[in-house]
Structure 1
């Protein structure tokens, strides 16, 4: 049987490529395709694992043999799911694979903003042992109210972690968690308005969809307490960046920790880069060495399911309706 060509489409670092290569079954041949490559390289691929690249109608149309689109990670906002469905192509994610890493990063940003870690680091590097602002502004996570927008895998792990620090947890989600989840995580369900107005830390944990784009807008940010902090490790377009920058500029917010931006790589003129009380990271919440092996194995398991005709995991399959068009 002829080998299936698997395209790694997008931006993958050497460790990611190494893990995929290590796990690559004999039935596959690997092709590396970067965003800068000509679309003609897509012509012969059967399966695709994609990361940090827009998979739009043009890209999908350039791959006439394409059978499966597998996302490296759990977000799929860069994939034209409707186009894939029309072609009878399943779109798969690696559900939950980055939850631990992203939840750790969210808590890291909370602590770093509250304790003014970057300000302290720069002070020491510049030869100043201690500046007054650090002592005047640093706060603990203990005793704070953490408001989680979303209550999926990542948010629940964040709740688990901040509980250990002695924080109080409240959350908002379109689908309320179970009584057992709320009890185990000591989490209270509240409306979005209540969460925004009463939380010391607001942490975003929803996927980017038509419903969540701009969910945290000027009105929602305006409800936040002036001593509050906003953390975004989800997707940049969920938050109105201009409204957030205006609030920070007007001292109506204490700070922010941002891992995801509306446009990535972040533009040099983005106002959020100008504030000392904003910690910015380059969308690395789910990217750890430990996580690469987990994600590669998860993706390859899904592709083997496709190759051998097995049913896909319901958690991973984004578009079950693809079957109607694949008949």
Structure 2
């Protein structure tokens, strides 16, 4: 019997202190820190199983890999995989869910506290000498708001959205879940139990947090029209996917005072650079940026790694577990 070859194309996306469990079957293990697009086919030419986080595996690439039986995605999102091709070619695809239900909500609330209390703005003011010029024991150059008693609108009611709601309620926030966005007036009114129309949630919320997948339907879900419906005191938090928010429209809304602040952990292109309007304007005191790390507490990543290896073990055993395809 041929020993299966398992290749991890971007091992460095999991920190070195996180341990991957040993697979309980005979196999050949190969790993690379990162893989460039022109290296993928050569590195996978003998692979039966590939582990991948962000490396793109499109139809053209997969068609050159006749031995491939399983793509184990070491993340929840799998938009970098051509799942339709995998379905036709009988290539199984698994992903990892439910591992960051503590880390992501805490990151959302941390961003919300920092922005609502203007911590970054005050930090910048001290650095620029405002305290020394003011000659008082304290100064108030930015408004300071409370979290308790405010309303959090959640777009996306999966495990992360629900976990964020639980944490927000514990802090005394009122939570609203938004129904899916629709252009149809009838569909806007026909909400599931426990949901409010998308536009109404935008209007009522003091803060909005995004936890929905990035699809053709949700690309630029929040853009100029949506910012115009939000309170001028509202804060937007995006730890979902970069493409959910029109980044230039967000910068414009912050500069014009259409909304009060934004916390962004995800970008349309990652890693991003100075050409991104968020990066170009990151000195604004009401804009807080982090490099796609909301999911990244050690405990969450260890849980991800354990589920990832369990998915591969289950597949090799003939079980269906966390299957996308």
Q: TM-score range, shorter-chain basis?
A: 0.7 to 0.9
Gaps of 5+ in 1: 180-187, 320-327
* SS of residue in 2 equivalent to 1:74: coil
Specify the alignment match of 1:23 in structure 2: 22
Contact 1:16 1:296 in 2 (8 A): no
Q: TM-score, normalised by structure 2?
A: 0.86
**Whole-Å separation in 1 of the counterparts to 2:249 and 2:221:** 12
**Whole-Å separation in 2 of the counterparts to 1:203 and 1:86:** 36
- Residues 1:154 and 2:163 aligned together: no
**Whole-Å separation in 2 of the counterparts to 1:136 and 1:276:** 9
**Whole-Å separation in 1 of the counterparts to 2:93 and 2:162:** 25
**Whole-Å separation in 2 of the counterparts to 1:17 and 1:11:** 12
Contact 1:73 1:95 in 2 (8 A): yes
Q: Rate the CA distance shift 1:308–1:53 in 2: closer, same or farther, 3 A.
A: same
Superposed CA offset, 1:184-218 (max 9, x none): xxxx5210000111111010010112221122222
- Residues 1:75 and 2:77 aligned together: yes
Please, which moves more after superposition, 276-285 or 93-102?
93-102
Contact 2:13 2:53 in 1 (8 A): no
**Whole-Å separation in 1 of the counterparts to 2:15 and 2:235:** 34
**Whole-Å separation in 2 of the counterparts to 1:207 and 1:156:** 15
Superposed CA offset, 1:28-68 (max 9, x none): 32212322262201111111221122222233234321111
Superposed CA offset, 1:240-260 (max 9, x none): 112111111211110100001
Specify the alignment match of 2:118 in structure 1: 116
Contact 1:23 1:297 in 2 (8 A): no
Superposed CA offset, 1:234-283 (max 9, x none): 00111111211111121111010000111111221222231321101111
**Whole-Å separation in 1 of the counterparts to 2:111 and 2:210:** 12
Specify the alignment match of 1:93 in structure 2: 95
Contact 2:99 2:301 in 1 (8 A): no
**Whole-Å separation in 1 of the counterparts to 2:64 and 2:297:** 32
Q: CA-atom RMSD, angstroms?
A: 2.5
Give the count of matched residue pairs.
307
Please, which moves more after superposition, 29-38 or 268-277?
29-38
Q: Rate the CA distance shift 1:4–1:256 in 2: closer, same or farther, 3 A.
A: same
Specify the alignment match of 1:12 in structure 2: 12
Specify the alignment match of 1:322 in structure 2: none
Shift of 1:177: 10
Contact 1:7 1:31 in 2 (8 A): yes
**Whole-Å separation in 2 of the counterparts to 1:26 and 1:317:** 20
Gaps of 5+ in 2: 182-189
Q: TM-score, normalised by structure 1?
A: 0.86
